[in-house]
Amino acid sequence: MLDATLSAPTAALPARDADGKLDLGALFSDSEVPEFLADLEAELIGLKPVKRRIREIAAHLVIGRARETLGLTAGAPTLHMAFTGNPGTGKTTVALKMAQILHRLGYVRRGHLVSVTRDDLVGQYIGHTAPKTKEILKKAMGGVLFIDEAYYLYRPENERDYGQEAIEILLQVMENQRDDLVVILAGYKDRMDRFFESNPGFRSRIAHHIDFPDYEDDELVAIARTMADAADYRFSPEADKALVEYVTARRGQPNFANARSIRNALDRMRLRQSLRLFDAGGLADREALETLTEADVRASRVFSGGIDAPRADATA
């Protein structure tokens, strides 16, 4: 379970001029939402449709505050969401950014993200599930509850499964306390679609469905370069060419998990570099310590037809 607490202040209602008009540009800027969106743009390569949807939601919430100021109907919006897509496409990162935006605009009072899976909510014996689920909800109140691989909450093939109890508690809270908690359900799109078909209560409470596309090869290469640069590494020209080949080959292997697989691959490249330098001994300058060579990349099993990833790459 991940609990990320944010400290941004909640937004004050916008002021009006002498004529009662609002400067929407200033309102949007003062909300700090542009900074959050800029951070999202900088942190996540690609994902243009996702970024557009987040911007739309943020703009709608800002306008809701403007309507409230002018006395127009602005009831509490339904903000529960579903993030669908393959592993490693940035769903958790976007959920955290969404928590920041909601907090800054005053739609959640604490602005923290609690990330959980089935194991955090569902017990293994009678009387165990309700306390577990309620404890998680207590921690998440005033913020965002992110439930990864939400379709595992209930396993109908197991008659002794207690997931349905967790679902019933969640649905009740999502309806009755939607002004104090935002729930984001996440997972593979096809499995989430089947989950919603079998759990119409969830579908009726989800206002925003956002699909996260897989990254293109060039985007994954850019992600690898960005990750390397953030850790003070760089690819030699030959290693960079090998990286492009690696990404194409790795995508065709089992358990591919987009940016997560690239991060894991980079970790292995760094290990190979360390071993190479350790075995070589002697003197090493800054360039040697920061450079990943072609050999560090091509030592991957992906170039010999092997699988270059543990199964954990593909966990969502």
* pLDDT for residue 250: 94
* pLDDT for residue 182: 95
CATH number assigned to the domain with residue range 217-314, chosen from the 4 options 1.10.8.60, 1.10.533.10, 3.30.930.10, 3.30.70.20: 1.10.8.60
Residue 212 pairs in a beta bridge with 85
**The CATH number of domain 2-212 is 3.30.565.10:** no
The span from the CA of 68 to the CA of 76, in Å, is 10
**Any idea what DSSP says for residue 312?**
G
Per DSSP bridges, beta strands 291-292 and 144-147 are unpaired
* pLDDT for residue 62: 83
The span from the CA of 172 to the CA of 87, in Å, is 29
* pLDDT for residue 94: 92
Q: In which element (H, E) is residue 235 found?
A: strand 234-235
Helix (H, G, I), strand (E, B) or coil at 3: strand
The span from the CA of 129 to the CA of 249, in Å, is 43
Q: Where are the domains of the chain?
A: 2-212, 217-314
- Please list the ranges in the chain whose pLDDT falls under 70: 1-20, 74-76, 159, 306-316
* pLDDT for residue 186: 96
State the number of CA atoms in the 13 A half-sphere of 255 facing the CB: 14
* pLDDT for residue 63: 84
The span from the CA of 212 to the CA of 49, in Å, is 8
111 neighbors 100 (Cβ within 8 angstroms): yes
